Amino acid sequence: MRDRFRLTLAQLNATVGDLSGNASLARAAWEEGRAAGAQMVALPEMFITGYNTQDLVMKPAFHQEAIAAIERLARDCADGPALAIGGPALSGAVLHNGYYILREGHVAATVVKHHLPNDTVFDEKRLYASGDIGGPYVVGGVRIGTPICEDAWFPDVTETLAETGAEFLLIPNGSPYHRGKLELRQNLMVARVIETGLPLVYLNLVGGQDDQVFDGGSFVLNPGGELALQLPVMEEAVAHLDLVRGADGWRAEMGARARIPGMLEQDYHAMVMSLRDYMRKSGFSKALLGLSGGVDSAIVATIAADALGPENLRCVMLPSEFTSQMSLDDAGAVAANLGCGHDVLPLAEGRDAITRTLAPLFEGLEDGLAEENLQSRLRGLLLMALSNKFGEMLLTTGNKSEVAVGYATIYGDMAGGYNPIKDLYKTRVFEICRWRNANHRAWMQGPAGAVIPDRVITKPPSAELRADQKDSDSLPDYPVLDGILDILVDQDGSVEDCVASGFSRQDAAKVEHLLYASEYKRFQSAPGTRLSKRAFWLDRRYPIVNRWRSGE
């Protein structure tokens, strides 16, 4: 039996469906571990398929090919350390979320997940069957217990593993980001360590997948809960962990402890990484957006510059007769500060042509919302034409406040392939802008400094679709709106809860009505970065047609 065990942890970025690419990443990590003298190299949950697969994993051809890829890895990685990797597992015709231990050219052990999450973004009870709680497996004479992700959120699996002889716990995860998630994970894992008395290795996936961000942040705890190793948040990392057995059992030797950023930085990094990965994994290298001179398009442009590099971003100003000189100047300043492309396409000629076309049917009717929205829809048409012509993905720029109440034009400014700020309330947009102006990190590809002029952040928000328009003409002021939305959306509360918190019944009822009435717009909207536990899409699933209101 060994008194020292070296485990290589590979916190890497898998791509859903890229079985050969994910296998190559696993093989490279195994090579690194072999060179470092590791006894085992570990990768996160469902790494061979990427995560979250949703229903793709149920397709027989897909999960059979994924299992075959794991078996090839076993053969390719026969001469060296064991390789531990997540992937689908079959028991007869029953599909499981599995974790494979590959050693000496074959699958030496397979662990299957027992607790299947079925809330927020997870539908694992739809995808997999629950496996029985098993015991540890042996690598290099050491008995290792592996609860898979959710299995470690409950005490039964870890306690069974400890009782059946596990000497340390290795927990592979595909745990997506939301604010405060890392602290929540660590608190729960400290509980598992105290209950079992065993060292615990928490290995998490990193990278963006559609709306979800896997934030890494893998860590190691010693008995008693002491932090022995902390890998970075939102970044790939490979680390070699040494566990040593003494008179009191196994302990991990102290390793590097990466800095844990504050919540604003984590949110901003999540938006940058999710956009970068969404572009890269879907085959795009360049993006464009409509730059209005307002704060939302300014922060999306900055996120895109940091994700892709300014040279891969085109910003387009599309002014109408209602666009102020201030907006023209501010849009130009943002583009100049970022160093990205900046084009100006006036709407007047196109709008006149559309107005003439509609005139026979609109004759005798007063101008109103339809005419205002022509501007927004013409902008969407022109931006999509540029996207088609130049192969640049169009980014849309609606914040969570606007997305919630439908303060956006469907088939107009909602047009686009991705929305990095979809889960960012307007009041937090202002905070993020100020944070980015004051901070720069090595993972940002855009320039340092105050790239968003202060005037862009402080001026009253306006859609500029009519003369002297302000957002506050149609909506409560954003601190009020966001406070009500936090109760209705993030806390799943009612109009009465809003009133009890000090908001007016009239404002709360109006916001609730707009929230439910806008479901059809959100159903057709672009995906965007998930930052909270109540992001629009998988976290919050409501009927499109719904007449119920709590305020009535």
What string of H, E and C letters represents the secondary structure of 405-469? HCCCCCCCCCCCCEECCCCCCHHHHHHHHHHHHHCCCCCCCCCCCCCCCHHHHHCCCCCCCCCCC
Residue found by looking up tokens 């790939």 in the block: 236
Task: Say how many C-beta atoms besides its own lie within 10 A of residue 16's C-beta.
Answer: 19
Do the beta carbons of residue 67 and residue 24 sit within 8 Å?
Answer: no
Residue found by looking up tokens 């009133």 in the block: 499
DSSP state of 194: H
DSSP states along 128-162: -PPPPP---EEETTEEEE---GGGGGSHHHHHHHH
Helix axes 505-517, 478-485, angle to 10 degrees: 70
- Where does 237-383 show beta strands of DSSP type E? 237-246, 249-252, 287-290, 313-317, 341-344
Strands lying side by side in the sheet with 393-394: 341-344, 313-317, 287-290, 393-394
Q: In degrees, to the nearest 5, what angle opens at C-alpha 193 toward C-alphas 187 and 196? A: 140
DSSP state of 311: G
Respond yes or no: is residue 315 known to be catalytic: no
Q: Residue length, the chain?
A: 552
The DSSP bridge partners found for residue 309 are none
Nearest to 481 by CA among 426, 549, 410: 426
Residue found by looking up tokens 């979800």 in the block: 212
Give the active site residue among 149, 315, 433, 498. 149
Respond yes or no: is residue 459 known to be catalytic: no
Strands lying side by side in the sheet with 227-230: 137-139, 142-145, 168-173, 200-204, 219-221, 227-230
The tokens describing 161, both together, are 């593993």
The tokens describing 404, both together, are 């919630």
Give the active site residue among 77, 113, 167, 235. 113
The tokens describing 371, both together, are 């005419």
Nearest to 401 by CA among 302, 293, 509, 476: 476
CA 37 and chain centroid, separation = 34
Contacts of 366 (CB under 8 A, 6+ apart): none
Q: Which residues are catalytic?
A: 45, 113, 149
